[in-house]
């Protein structure tokens, strides 16, 4: 599922529909249309927040009920073996591997993204002992920066986090750099880094490359091994539809698997967890990134989410989903700007399809306004989210979104701005989780 997308591919950016009827016709002719039925979507909602919490796959409730009632309730402890709970991190990891251009034995599902980042960043810094700099973007998702700071402080060996703006990255990656740690798609603007180019720049400087795929995995084709990435982490609850707080994943390139180590050396990453040895002996391969006992129920939900996503393989897989995503995001961006530019709405997502993720973000002249507009839009049935200081963010999961959804969302955004009802105090509630 990792076919490259040509930037000149026909149909990606042209022929945007100019009426709702044309959107309906495109949806009727859409070969991906049957995939929408794989999700349990609430009636009357246009859900543009699948980049924050993916929608519920229709198969998931029964999968979880089986895990709860039969596997846990009836089979009890035996399910660690009979239901394969003990292999869930590897089995689920292998499914994720197919989405990110990795080998099945290079990916593991475990813990939260932040915890996994701590593991792989620890391993990477150890492999580049003697170099002290971690390069990242100032606009990287904050938890990545916080984890790097926490690790650097803990090590107390002078590691420094060098934060730069995106356009300063090439200059910042020099021979002092141990690790370049970047999120491929900016969580606010949706701007996408060129994985091959940045990884090559890191390697030319002798640094290791660590990618956060939070807004990439399951959204468009990613090929970690083609780029020769060293480490990666990513999120299970966005485009993988794994449910709230789903386990995250990590990737370790096969060529590093003999050498690496990591400090969260819990028993599930031991070579023989059930021998109960006093001393730690790391498991072979990616399994040594396991720490504690995996949260089985959340892992089963992630497994079901992945099966749903992989059902798209019969329809052209991620390459086909990504073509549709570009159509939907281009349509929404163009229509929203046509209707709302006079209110100061400005698109901050690159309109070159190869430079963006599966989202469209706008700013408004005033942060308070941006916040209120998102809340008022939710009240009108279009769920996006606000990101400080002034971003309106709309994610497009093409498995369950249609052209009419993009059309209607732009219309309702315009209606909110026209009506001014975003000024109402009812829209000053607390922001949601990314």
Asked if 355 is an active-site residue, the reply is no
Residue placing its CB nearer to its own copies in the complex, 6 or 276 = 276
Work out whether 232 is an interface residue with its own copies (CB under 8 A): no
Structure tokens at 257: 């698997």
Residues 180-219 within binding reach of its own copies (CB under 8 A): none
Among 109, 120, 209, 248, binds its own copies (CB under 8 A): 248
Site for its own copies in 133-152 (CB under 8 A): 138, 141-143, 145-147, 149-151
Residue 289 binding its own copies, by CB under 8 A: no
Site for its own copies in 391-420 (CB under 8 A): none
Phi and psi for 160 in degrees, rounded to 5? -130, 140
Residue closer to its own copies by CB (options 81, 368) is 81
Query: Of the listed 237, 260, 332, 396, which one is catalytic?
Result: 237
Q: Does residue 68 interact with its own copies by CB under 8 A?
A: yes
- Active site includes 126? no
DSSP state of 77: G
Q: How far is the CB of 47 from its own copies (least distance, A)?
A: 6
Active site annotation includes 393:
yes
Query: Using CA atoms, how far apart are residues 363 and 372, in angstroms rounded to an integer?
Result: 12
Q: Considering only the stretches 3-11, 202-210, 292-300, 338-346, report the one whose residues sit in contact with its own copies under the rule CB under 8 A.
A: 292-300
* 302 phi, psi to nearest 5 deg: -65, -40
The answer to whether 63 is a known catalytic residue is: no
Could you say which DSSP state residue 101 is in? T
* CA dist., res. 4 & res. 209, Å (int): 21
Catalytic residue, chosen from 27, 49, 186, 212, is 212
Q: Bridge-partner residues for 136, per DSSP?
A: 163
Backbone angles phi, psi at 285, to 5 degrees: 70, -155
Is residue 165 close enough to count as binding its own copies by CB under 8 A? no
Rounded (10°) CA dihedral 414, 420, 426, 427: 50
Q: Provide DSSP, 168-196.
A: GHHHH--TTEEEEEEESB-TTT-BB--HH
Q: Which stretch binds its own copies (CB under 8 A): 19-27, 178-186, 216-224, 288-296?
A: 288-296
Q: Which is nearer to its own copies, 254 or 293 (CB)?
A: 293
Q: Which residue in 60, 184, 327, 363 binds its own copies (CB under 8 A)?
A: 60
Q: Does 348 bind its own copies (CB under 8 A)?
A: no
Q: Does 132 bind its own copies (CB under 8 A)?
A: no
Angle at CA of residue 137, ends 391 and 201, nearest 5°? 135
Residue 66 in tokens? 């089986």
> Residue 317 Cβ, how far from its own copies at the closest point, in Å?
25
Kindly tell me which residue out of 11, 44, 130, 156 binds its own copies, with binding defined by CB under 8 A: 156
How many angstroms separate the CA atoms of 56 and 397, rounded? 12
Establish if 271 lies at the interface with its own copies (CB under 8 A): no
Residue 172: closest CA among 158, 162, 183, 160: 162
Q: Which stretch binds its own copies (CB under 8 A): 37-45, 168-176, 222-230, 325-333?
A: 37-45
Pick the stretch among 94-102, 195-203, 266-274, 414-422 that binds its own copies (CB under 8 A): 266-274
Under 8 Å between Cβ of 335 and 407: yes
Question: What are the tokens at 141?
Answer: 């998702």
Beta strands in 52-187 (DSSP E): 107-110, 133-137, 160-164, 177-183
Among 37, 40, 259, 341, binds its own copies (CB under 8 A): 40
Nearer to its own copies, 131 or 387 (CB): 387
Of residues 63, 85, 16, 108, the one with CA closest to residue 329: 16
Phi and psi based region of residue 324 (left: phi greater than 0; alpha: psi -120 to 50; beta: remaining): alpha
Q: Is 381 in the site for its own copies (CB under 8 A)?
A: no
State in angstroms the smallest separation of the CB of 296 from its own copies. Answer: 4
Greatest pairwise CA separation for the chain in angstroms: 69
Q: Restricting to residues 355-374, which ones interact with its own copies according to CB under 8 A?
A: none
CA 86 to chain centre: 25
Q: Binding of its own copies at residue 7 (CB under 8 A)? A: no
Task: Let me know if 141 is a catalytic residue.
Answer: yes
Tell me which of 141, 231, 239, 362 is the catalytic residue: 141
Determine if 388 is a binding residue for its own copies (CB under 8 A). yes
Q: Which of 188, 192, 238, 323 is catalytic?
A: 238
Angle of helix 20-29 relative to helix 403-419, nearest 10 degrees, comes to 150
Distance CA 290, CA 44 (A): 42
Residue 282: strand, helix, or coil: strand
Which one among 3, 7, 78, 175 touches its own copies, defined by CB under 8 A? 78
Which of these ranges, 17-25, 68-76, 315-323, 406-414, lies near its own copies under the rule CB under 8 A?
68-76
Count of residues that interact with its own copies, criterion CB under 8 A: 95
Residue 17, number of CB atoms within 10 A of its CB: 20
Q: Which residues are catalytic?
A: 141, 212, 237-238, 393
């Amino acid at each position: 599922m990792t076919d490259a997308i040509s930037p000149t591919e026909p149909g990606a950016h042209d022929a945007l529909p100019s009426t709702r009827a044309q959107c309906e016709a495109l949806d009727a002719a859409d070969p991906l249309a049957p995939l929408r039925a794989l999700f349990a979507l609430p009636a009357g909602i246009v859900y543009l927040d699948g980049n924050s919490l993916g929608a519920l796959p229709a198969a998931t409730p029964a999968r979880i009920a089986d895990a709860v009632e039969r596997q846990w309730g009836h089979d009890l402890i035996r399910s660690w073996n009979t239901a394969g709970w003990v292999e869930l991190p590897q089995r689920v990891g292998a499914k994720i591997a197919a989405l990110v251009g990795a080998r099945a034995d290079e990916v593991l599902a475990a813990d939260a993204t932040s915890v996994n980042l701590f593991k792989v960043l620890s391993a990477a810094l150890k492999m580049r002992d003697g170099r002290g700099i971690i390069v990242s973007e100032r606009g990287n998702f904050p938890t990545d920066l916080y984890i790097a700071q926490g690790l650097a402080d803990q090590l107390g060996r002078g590691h420094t986090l060098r934060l730069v703006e995106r356009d300063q990255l090439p200059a910042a990656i020099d021979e002092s750099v141990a690790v370049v740690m970047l999120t491929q798609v900016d969580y606010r603007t949706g701007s996408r880094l060129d994985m091959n180019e940045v990884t090559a720049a890191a390697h030319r400087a002798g640094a290791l490359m660590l990618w956060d795929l939070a807004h990439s995995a399951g959204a468009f084709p990613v090929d970690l091994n083609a780029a020769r990435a060293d480490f990666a982490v990513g999120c299970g609850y966005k485009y993988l539809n794994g449910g709230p707080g789903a386990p995250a994943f990590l990737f370790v390139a096969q060529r590093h698997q003999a050498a690496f180590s990591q400090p969260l050396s819990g028993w599930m990453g031991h070579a023989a967890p059930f021998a109960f040895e006093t001393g730690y002996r790391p498991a072979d391969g990616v399994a040594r990134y396991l720490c504690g006992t995996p949260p089985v129920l959340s892992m089963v939900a992630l497994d079901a989410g992945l099966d749903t996503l992989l059902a798209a393989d019969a329809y052209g897989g991620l390459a086909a989903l990504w073509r549709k995503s570009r159509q939907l995001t281009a349509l929404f961006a163009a229509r929203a700007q046509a209707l709302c530019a006079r209110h100061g709405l400005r698109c901050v997502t690159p309109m070159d399809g190869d430079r963006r993720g599966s989202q469209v973000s706008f700013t408004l002249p005033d942060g308070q306004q941006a916040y209120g507009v998102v809340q008022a839009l939710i009240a009108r049935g279009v769920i996006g989210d606000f990101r400080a200081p002034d971003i309106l963010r709309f994610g497009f999961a093409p498995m369950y979104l249609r052209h009419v959804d993009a059309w209607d969302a732009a219309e309702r955004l315009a209606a909110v701005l026209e009506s001014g009802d975003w000024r109402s105090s009812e829209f000053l509630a607390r922001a949601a989780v990314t």
